[in-house]
Amino acid sequence: MPKLRFPFTLRTILLAGSFILLVSILLVTTARAESPAQETESYCLSCHSDPDLSLTLPSGESLSLFIDPAKLQTSLHSPLGIECEACHTNISTYPHPEIVYQSKRELARSYYQACQKCHTDQYDKTQDSMHAHVAEAGNQNAPVCTDCHGSHYVTKPDEPRATVSQTCGHCHTDVYDAYKQSIHGDALINTDNPDVPVCTDCHGVHSIQDPRTSQFRVAEPELCAGCHANATLMGKYGLSADVYNLYKTSWHGVDVAVYEAKWPTIWHDTAVCSDCHDIHNILPADNPASTVNPANLLATCQKCHPGVGPNWTGAWTGHYKISLERTPFIYYVDVFYSSLAPAILWLSAIYVVLQIIRNTVARARRSL
Amino acid sequence: MSTVKKTNVARDPHIRTVRTFKRFTLGQRWEHTFLFLSITVLALTGLPQKYRATSWSQTILATPERVELLQTIHHIAAILLGVIVVYHLGVIIYQLTRRSLPGDMLPTGKDVQDAWHMLQYLLYIKKDKPKFGKYNFEQKVTYWFIFFAIGILGVSGLIIWFPEFFTRFLPGGVIPASKLAHSTEAVTLVIFIVIWHFYHVHLERLNLSIFTGTLNEEDMTTYHQLEYKRILGKAEPGDKKE
């Protein structure tokens, strides 16, 4: 049988095809990297700038398809040339592919994955977060990127800084209300103070962990110490930066340090900062509403030490070093043990050494 | 009290008879044994709690249950020590009411003179050691140091064991003060016993009289001459030499 001959073999065709494909992919990628402008925005807005544009999802919800061109211009992405198609990768022309989402939530939970393309680090962090764990457990309301950052009108999340806490407050309303009253929240919201913590300073930004675990609990003193052991920062507000060091040597602090080092997963009730100072509604001690105000201190102690009497609070040296003025009794006990006790021990040691020398010499002389 | 133990051994040239002098009663010997046991257990279970921040302590206190166990043992030993203290004070009060308290352990002016004399001896100013009675000033220092240390440890220990109870009538400041006093006093006591007491009863000479209850004649004449004379002076003339 004579063989059939083709001018191009199948292999050549395949090779050429792959080459063309490769080049085109490379070209497309280069084009995107060099000039991210897809110039899709004006094309899309020709329809989507209509405020009445909407569709009804199978869930019965009405999904607005309106995009405000003015707001879009003030967002971060659009002025940088990152336009519609950067995220809506499956929509390149009209008519659009059919919408397959049952509800608005399903749509949001699907679309936020587009953020991963550029913001990989942040996206990966959220995957280990408390919010992701809650979502895995079936809570569809757990936030995704767009719930905090917005979808089309993305702006800087911390300008002003209070925006961060307000964002968290959209869902965590009770916590935000308590925080607003606190010394931290008040300074943030009313004076845009740059030093006070916003939610993310304590809870983390994207990799937010469950703060109700024993691990979070025993690590909490260190968390607060991040600012409260900083002498420069505390000096600005006339606060003592010794609080953490003194806490560490206290009954509570030593206990907590041991649990943190050895048994972080075992729940332990020894007091950490927030047990006395409250969690979000932290107030200065001179505020009558503060849990550590002298008027409320006993009740605060009684949370863990039920039934203790009014003298009990005197046991608390108040994050202060032992001093004659503040705690005279403890001061004298300390003086006694830091001077008299060592003196007695040294005296007895010297006496014994003299005895040993004398007796050894006497014994040596006798044996001569 | 201190009496001469008569030795009724036949006069055989090969047998050396040793006269022993009663020093401690059976009750006192048992007291010492229990005191030794309780203080040892208290120190061994207390030190890891004081130094909880160190790694050796955390090796011992490997689990929260161990911490609890150690605290329980510490409390049991403390109760034993409390019983000893009550017994000891009870005997003293009983003897006081019977007007039969020996009083050998009470510090006297002679102790100060003896200490000064001893210091001169140690510095080669004097050639001879001072002569002592039943308890020399070193032994009195041992007794009274431990006496007051146990007092401080007992009171402060009870306060940190039952802080809620004690702050009903004491100011709250006693809790941190007791915590400070308890652990520092305990360490002070342990160091004191090791350098002072162990030297005198193990290194200077092996003195086991607190276990045997007696001292032999040689120890009596070397270390407690005045007591030796006192006993023999009171004793019948026939007992003088054996």
**Considering only A33-37, B21-25, B51-55, which range has the smallest mean pLDDT?**
A33-37
- pLDDT at A24 (0 to 100): 64
At B2, the pLDDT band (50, 70, 90 cuts) reads: very low
- Strands A62-64, B20-22: pairing is unpaired
The percent of residues above 90 in pLDDT, for chain B, comes to: 57
pTM of the model: 0.77
Backbone angles phi, psi at A63, to 5 degrees: -105, 115
Q: What residues of B are in contact with residue A356 (Cβ under 8 Å)?
A: 199, 203
Is residue A69 within 8 A of residue A49, CB to CB? The reply is yes
Neighbours of B219 (CB within 10 A): 17
Give CA–CA dist A150/A135, Å, rounded. 19
Give the residue among A251, A253, A252, A266 at the shortest CA–CA distance from B63. A266
Contact indicator for B197, A353 with CB cutoff of 8 Å? no
Report the C-alpha gap between A293 and A290 in whole angstroms: 5
pLDDT tens digits for range B131-176? 898 899 999 999 999 999 999 999 999 999 999 999 999 998 899 9
CA distance A279 to A147: 25
For every one of its 368 residues, what pLDDT tens digit does chain A have, with 9 covering 90 and above? 455 555 567 677 677 777 777 766 655 554 444 444 557 788 888 889 999 998 899 888 999 999 998 888 889 988 888 888 888 888 877 888 888 888 999 988 888 888 998 999 999 999 989 999 999 999 989 999 999 998 899 988 888 899 999 999 999 999 999 999 999 999 999 999 999 999 999 999 999 999 999 999 999 999 999 999 999 999 999 999 999 999 988 889 988 988 888 889 999 999 999 999 999 999 999 999 999 999 999 999 999 999 899 999 988 887 888 888 888 889 999 999 999 999 999 999 999 999 999 989 988 988 87
Residue A199 near residue A179 (C-beta atoms within 8 A): yes
Domain boundaries, chain B: 20-235
Alpha-carbon distance B171 to B152, whole Å?
Answer: 17
Angle, nearest 10°, between helix axes B26-50 and B174-192?
120
Q: Which amino acid is at A358?
A: R
3-state secondary structure of A285: coil
Pick the CATH number of B20-235 from 3.60.20.10, 3.50.90.10, 1.20.950.20, 3.50.50.60: 1.20.950.20
CB pairs under 8 A between A and B: 98
Of B174, B176, B192, Cβ closest to residue A317: B176
Do A355 and B204 lie within an 8 Å CB cutoff? yes
pLDDT of residue A25: 61
Q: What's the pLDDT score for residue B102?
A: 87
Other beta carbons less than 10 A from residue A153's beta carbon: 17
Are B167 and A355 an interchain contact pair (Cβ–Cβ within 8 Å)?
Answer: no
> Is any Cβ of chain A less than 8 angstroms from the Cβ of B192?
yes
Give me the interface pTM, i.e. the ipTM: 0.84
Q: What is the pLDDT of residues B96-123, one digit of tens each?
A: 999 988 888 999 999 999 999 999 999 9
pLDDT number for residue A86: 87
For residues A236 and A312, is the Cβ–Cβ distance under 8 A?
A: no
| Mean pLDDT within B68-94 | 96
DSSP state at residue A112: G
What distance lies between CA B225 and its chain's CA centroid?
Answer: 21
Distance separating alpha carbons of residues B28 and B84, to the nearest angstrom: 10
B residues 193-222 closer than 8 Å to A (CB): 195-196, 199, 203-204
Within 8 A of A327 by CB-CB distance, chain B residues are 173, 176
What is the distance between the alpha carbons of residues B201 and B209, in angstroms, rounded to a whole number? Answer: 9
- Taking the CA of residue A358 and the nearest CA in chain B, the distance in Å comes to 6
Q: Which of B164, B176, B184 sits opposite A330 (nearest CB)?
A: B176
Structure tokens at A86: 């950067």
List Cβ neighbours of A195 (8 Å cut-off, separation of 6 or more): A187, A227, A233, A236, A237
Dist. CA B185–CA B153, nearest whole Å: 7
- Cis check: omega of the bond before A95, within 30 degrees of 0: yes
Contacts of A22 (CB under 8 A, 6+ apart): none
**Contact (CB, 8 A) for B173 and A330:** yes
Q: Is B99 left (phi over 0), alpha (psi -120 to 50) or beta?
A: left
DSSP-derived letter for residue A340 is I
> What is the distance between the alpha carbons of residues B164 and B160, in angstroms, rounded to a whole number?
9
Whether residue A160 has a cis bond before it, omega within 30° of 0: yes
Chain B residues with beta carbon closer than 8 angstroms to that of A331? none
